Amino acid sequence: MDNIVPQFIHGEIRTGGSPERLENLYPADGSKLGEVSIASEEDVEDAVRSSKDAFETWSAMTGTERGRILRKAAEILRKRNDELAEVEVEDTGKPIFEASAVDIISGADALEFFGGLAASISGEHIQLGKSFAYVKREPLGVTAGIGAWNYPMQIACWKAAPALAAGNTMIFKPAEETPRNAVNLAEIFVEAGMPSGVFNVVQGGPQVGKQLVGHKDIAKVSLTGEVGTGQKVMEGASKTLKELSLELGGKNPMIIFNDADLEDAVQGAMMGNFYTQGEICSNGTRVYVHKRVMDDFCDQLIQEVQNLKIGDPKDPATRIGALISKEQKEKVLNYLQIGLEQGGELLFGGGEPDFGSGSPLANGYFVEPAAFYTESDNDRIAREEIFGPLMTILPFEEETDVIRRANDTPYGLAAGIFTRDIRRAHRVIGKLDAGVCWINNYNITPVEIPFGGVKMSGTGRENGRAAIDSWSRLKTVYVEMEGVGRPFD
Ligand code: NAD
């Protein structure tokens, strides 16, 4: 690929598109990696036509055949892990330490898992006396995936793998900030033997997304993005009443009881706040700590955070990379200011690291990991999704009180608790309004388990067997074995 990031339509790259271009920037130093071509309306129409054609072939193949291609693609992804991880680093600014261990591999896991399931997708037979019915599980048709920028390859694979395994075709639109690996994925699919048009990529911003959402020939849209975008997509989809999966934001609670293994809890809180510079939807950004262990927890946390190297994302020793954009950096710095103004106590961090004016990183979008202590759940830092390395620590004493406070949010994506009391663990989890919960760990999202939110964090599930249900529909067929008779007699 040269430095114009193209569309990928019907097996071919395309750079024409609309006359405008987007910039592809490296968040670690703000340098321009290249430009992104934006799909014109005609490009999107071509992609839909191509996907419709390809659907005829792809849906007629057996699950075994489709699965073999998906598993072959997983193999290629694993072989090209280092190179693809570097692209992920350049597009997102996250550390290579993470991208090479998680981002591409979790995408490959999804292709393998759903590639394995493809052959076992089946319906049901229901005997009704001498007559019977069967229920077929059918693909939906042409579908669309719209991605966020924090896990570009993983998001593309989490959507494409179950959709394609079930026999659908997909048009994928990556986030405008992170356009490159979706095209690499499309090329890998073709190399693995996938027919042209089964997976097309269109580039661009909200306008291109809107065209997909409103298109009458697209049966389902799966979005990963902000709540506000989810609302617009739901509204846009209402005109054609298409199926939707919405993977949206969160302000997730993590509850640390006084009997918790504190070392685990500190590591869990760090993982749930500072991985990918805090740009993770399921992060546990409201950390409720029992009053009796608050001091120990904070002391250990302060100690551990000092070991996190912030800086050059391509340095394998780096643990905190750059935020996605200048706007995101300013947003996070603004929340730090708000936290201070509302009376929060800043325990550590809270600024831009000083790399020295001669360093290219001085132009990057870095913010040091930070934690606030506050006793008010109403502080904006305790209520709003920040999507950066900013943890809010809140004290609690009573189990019932902390459950109420944990649920007092419009969001419901994830929740975690740390305790050694097995009964309490399950009792509390049973009362939390969240789609994904962890006991004594945080942010573990293997492809085998369903992932998704409740309340304003979205609808639908990715991963696990549940994802196959969401990318297929049922057709019920009644078979009469005895004749109609005379129903009006
Ligand atoms: P965003 O909502 O700004 O953009 C997401 C995608 O939607 C982009 O591809 C964008 O071009 C597209 N888009 C924007 N407006 C659109 C419209 N009107 N119609 C159709 N498409 C439109 O989100 P972002 O800033 O890229 O990502 C950060 C957000 O994503 C955070 O809120 C985060 O919590 C959320 N997120 C959720 C999950 C999850 O699985 N629940 C995972 C990752 C990120």
Mean pLDDT on 352-372: 96
276, 150 contact by CB (below 8 A): yes
Token pair 């302000």 is at which residue?
251
**Model pLDDT for residues 268-316, shown as the tens digit of each residue:** 999 999 999 999 999 999 999 999 999 999 999 999 999 999 999 999 9
Cα-Cα-Cα-Cα dihedral sign, residues 115, 449, 285, 412: positive
Query: How does the average pLDDT of the chain come out, rounded?
Result: 97
- Determine which one of 94, 159, 220, 329 is catalytic: 159
Q: Specify whether 20 is catalytic.
A: no
Q: Is the pLDDT of residue 240 over 80?
A: yes
Closest atom of ligand 1 to CA, residue 230 = 2
**Model pLDDT for residues 89-143, shown as the tens digit of each residue:** 999 999 999 999 999 999 999 999 999 999 999 999 999 999 999 999 999 999 9
Closest CA to 114 of 465, 429, 441, 383: 465
Q: Specify whether 45 is catalytic.
A: no
Residues with CB under 6 A from ligand 1: 146-150, 173, 175-176, 205-206, 209-210, 213, 223-226, 229, 232-233, 247-250, 281, 385, 387, 413, 453, 458
Q: What is the DSSP letter of 462?
A: B
- Determine which one of 88, 112, 176, 247 is catalytic: 247
Q: Specify whether 281 is catalytic.
A: yes
Please tell me the residue having the least CA distance from ligand 1 atom 21: 209
265, 425 contact by CB (below 8 A): no
Q: Is the pLDDT of residue 32 over 60?
A: yes
**Model pLDDT for residues 331-358, shown as the tens digit of each residue:** 999 999 999 999 999 999 989 999 998 9
Distance CA 39, CA 52 (A): 18
Q: Is the pLDDT of residue 468 over 70?
A: yes
Give the SS3 label for residue 459. Answer: strand
Percent with pLDDT over 70 in the chain: 100
Q: Is the pLDDT of residue 1 over 50?
A: no
Q: Kindly give the residue spans of alpha helices, DSSP state H, lying in 166-293.
A: 180-191, 206-214, 227-238, 262-274
**Model pLDDT for residues 33-56, shown as the tens digit of each residue:** 999 999 999 999 999 999 999 999
Q: What residues have CB less than 8 Å from 487, skipping those under 6 apart?
A: none
Closest atom of ligand 1 to CA, residue 174 = 9
Cα-Cα-Cα-Cα dihedral sign, residues 144, 150, 156, 161: negative
Backbone angles phi, psi at 7, to 5 degrees: -85, 165
Q: Is the pLDDT of residue 150 over 80?
A: yes
* List of E strands, 411-483: 414-418, 436-439, 458-459, 472-479
Q: What is the DSSP letter of 283?
A: -
Tell me the CA–centroid distance for residue 282 and ligand 1, in Å: 14
Please tell me the residue having the least CA distance from ligand 1 atom 30: 225
The confidence band for 2, taking pLDDT boundaries of 50, 70 and 90, is low
Q: In angstroms, what CA-CA distances link 39 with 213, 218, 244, 277?
A: 15, 17, 22, 30
Note the pTM of the prediction, 2 decimals.
Answer: 0.97
Q: How wide is the angle at C-alpha 197 spanned by C-alphas 64 and 208, nearest 5°? A: 125
Cα-Cα-Cα-Cα dihedral sign, residues 275, 448, 62, 59: negative
Distance CA 489, CA 482 (A): 17
265, 470 contact by CB (below 8 A): no
- Determine which one of 281, 298, 368, 385 is catalytic: 281
Distance CA 184, CA 188 (A): 6
Mean pLDDT on 174-188: 98
For residue 233, which amino acid is it?
A: V
Tell me the CA–centroid distance for residue 405 and ligand 1, in Å: 27
The confidence band for 16, taking pLDDT boundaries of 50, 70 and 90, is confident
Distance CA 114, CA 129 (A): 36
- Ligand 1 mutation target, pool 103, 154, 218, 226, most atoms within 8 A of CB: 226
